[in-house]
Amino acid sequence: MSTRLEVAVIGAGAIGRTHVETLARMQGMHLAALVDPTPAARAYADSLSVPCLPDAQSLIAAGLAQAAIVATPNETHLPIAAALLRAGLPVLLEKPVAESLDSALQLIAVARETGVPLLVGHHRRHNPIIQAARAAVANGEIGDLVMATVTCSLAKPDSYFQAEWRRSPGAGGPLLINLVHEIDLLRHIFGEIAFVQAVASNARRGFAVEDTAAVCLGFAAGGLATLCISDAATGPWAWDLSAGENPARFPAHPVQAHLYAGTKAGLSLPDLTLWQPPGTPDWTVPLAPRRIEIAPGDPYAAQLSHFADLIRAGGRPLVSARDATANLIVLDAIRSAAATGQRVAIDLSPLGPET
C-alpha cells in the first residue's frame, strides 16, 4: 500500500472546497475522489482530474479511498459517516456532528462499535491562537474567569440561503451552523457549561429558523458569558471575520471577537492580547497590554495532519463525537431557553461515560 493517504471529499460545496484546497497542500495526503451528485461537483472534479462519484456507497464499493472528509449538509452526517465507519473508512466529519442529539448519539454508538477513527471538524481547536489562549487560561494568566463576551455578526448574502437546508429548522440557522463553534471554543477553554438563558428572533430574514440570538450562560467552574450572534447583522466582530483562518473566503478585520475578563487579567481574541494590571487589579490604574506571541498556522491543515496521525498511529481525536455532541446538548438547551424564556440546566448524562 502506498504511504500516501488517499482521501475522498464528500460534499463539494463551500467547506468541501476548502478541504480540497487544503489537501492539495498536504504532504502525504492526496485527494482520491469527490463524492457529490451535482453537475457543479462533476465539473469541479473534472477540473481537478479526479473521479466524481454520486454517493458514499459508490465510494465504498469503488475502494478508491482510505479515508473520507464528510462536508455535506448536517442532516446527512449520520447516514454518511455511519456507512463509512462501518466500511472501515476513518472519517473527518464536519461540524456540527449531526443535526440532532438523537442522530449524534447514534453516531457515538457506531464510532464505539467500529473503533474506526472519527474526528469532528471543529477546526478552530487546531488554531495556534486557540491553543495559546487555552494554555494561558490553564496557566492561570487571567485568574478565574469572571465574564466572557463573544460576538458573531455575519451578514450573509441572500445567495447563501439558496441552499434550502440553511433556512430549515433542525438543519440550518446560525445557532447550529455558527454558534456551535463558539460553544465548542468556550467549552474547550473554560470547561463545561452548567446553564443557559437565551432569546432568539427570525425578524430580520423571516425564515422558519432563527437569524439572531442572544445567549447568557454560566460555567460549571464559575464565570458567566454572553454571546450575541446574527447572520443578518453587519459588522466585523466575529471570529470568521477577524481570525484570518480562511483568507480565500473571508476578510480578516483587526478587531476582537472574544473578550475574557478574569479575576487577575483580561484576554482578547483573536489578537491574543493579555491586559494585565501592574499590581492588584484596580479600575483606576491603566492595564498593560501584552501580545502572546505565536507562530500563525492554518487550522484546516493542522486538522488534516491530526486526522492523518489518528489513521496512521491511533490515539484520541482532539474532537471526538462525544465531545462534539456535548455542543449539541448546549445548543438544544439554548433553543429550549429561547422558546420558553426559562433558564435551562445542561444535562450531559445522555453522553454516557467517556471510554
Ligand X SMILES: NC(=O)c1ccc[n+]([C@@H]2O[C@H](COP(=O)([O-])OP(=O)(O)OC[C@H]3O[C@@H](n4cnc5c(N)ncnc54)[C@H](O)[C@@H]3O)[C@@H](O)[C@H]2O)c1
Residue nearest to ligand X (CB): 13
Smallest separation, CB 149 to ligand X (Å): 22
Strands 91-94 and 118-121: parallel
**Residue closer to ligand X, measured from CB, 41 or 209:** 41
Smallest separation, CB 194 to ligand X (Å): 26
Question: Cα(294)–Cα(133) distance, rounded to whole angstroms?
Answer: 10
Smallest separation, CB 284 to ligand X (Å): 42
* Rounded (10°) CA dihedral 300, 302, 306, 311: 60
Smallest separation, CB 58 to ligand X (Å): 10
**Residue closer to ligand X, measured from CB, 10 or 326:** 10
**Residue closer to ligand X, measured from CB, 85 or 274:** 85
**Residue closer to ligand X, measured from CB, 60 or 142:** 60
What one-character DSSP code corresponds to residue 169? T
Nearest to 81 by CA among 39, 113, 124, 46: 113
Strands 212-219 and 193-201: antiparallel
DSSP string, 254-286: S--SEEEEESS-EEEETTTEEEE-SSS--TTSP
In the complex, the residues that contact ligand X under the rule CB under 6 A are 10-16, 35-36, 38, 41, 55, 71-74, 76, 94-95, 121, 123, 163, 177
**Residue closer to ligand X, measured from CB, 96 or 266:** 96
Query: What's the half-sphere exposure (Cβ side, CA atoms, 13 Å) at 132?
Result: 18
Smallest separation, CB 155 to ligand X (Å): 16
